[in-house]
Chain A
Amino acid sequence: MTDETERLTSEIIRRETHSSRAVPATILAVLVILASLYLMLETALKALGQDPWLLAPEDAAGWVGSLPAGISPSVLAAAGALVFLLGLFFFLAAVLPGRKARLSIPNKRAAVVVDAEVLASSLARRARVAAGVTPDQVLVTIGRRLVEVQVRPTSGIPVSAQVVQTAVEDELRRTAVDPVPEVRVAVAESGVIGQ
């Protein structure tokens, strides 16, 4: 791989494992467009010397300036809280890291990203085979630093947590996800019957 391709590849991995914030951006843009359309209509009517459609701009400004007069305090506070929460949603979307549930696998040629869901199902398969249980009895949750494996053994047939742990760790090592998470296996106290 040339240097240029390598640089672009690592940039692609970063972009693919982080959110682009396209959805909140589009929501915000639509809200701004709707508000601007209404304001533009009223301003244009004013500029043309026509009667206002709903509320003349000066009247609206005067009403805002005279707040909290003419409105019940609880309604004002509730509206304020709503606007604040909307603002907080957009602000948090901007400042939080926005990591996606995806992991990257080192590869010599390409940028490889795996959905956590896909890796979880492959780990679950290894854990299931190691424990000798059916697919419904294994639950794998993948976090950034921790892989949790929950096994509910079939009643009367003991499952060794150590064996499952070794199998899952082996599978993780083969996958070589970066960074390597820690594995924690929990075998349920009570078994299931009828499997």
Chain B
Amino acid sequence: MTTGSNPQRRPDGAAFVIALILAGIAVVIFWQTSIMRLPVHQARVGPQVFPYAIAAGLLLLAIGTAVSAWRGSFPARPPENYGPALWIVGGLLGQILLVSSLGFSLASGVLVACTARAFGKGPMWFTFLCGAVFAFIVWFIFARGLQLSLPAGPLERLIP
């Protein structure tokens, strides 16, 4: 970390985006809270006070973040390498969208294969198989042994 001694501190674009997002959230909270329909008989401190306070706080923090971004005082970030992270997000999305039709084991196989791929482990058919088998064992223990409700698919229905 070179904080403090780094002479070339530039405005931090990504941090500005964070400031904008914080301000955006504050505006949404303000707006959503202001359109609440309140009953006539209402305690002095109703359900709107806390959201308004949080929105005001977020707005101040957005300003502070913008100043901090302008000064470039965010800690140094490691070089960006989004590829593997995107594989994991893709794997999670795949599992989320497939789990209701394919069941927990097969959908989790997709998740495991994509995660292994993100960490440089392949081939994907092999990691998918390993993941699906492991997820099936886990499904059996938790769904049958501990009565947890987990989505079943064609594979899970093979077991009566």
Asked whether A and B interact, the reply is no
Which positions in B face A, CB cutoff 8 Å?
Answer: none
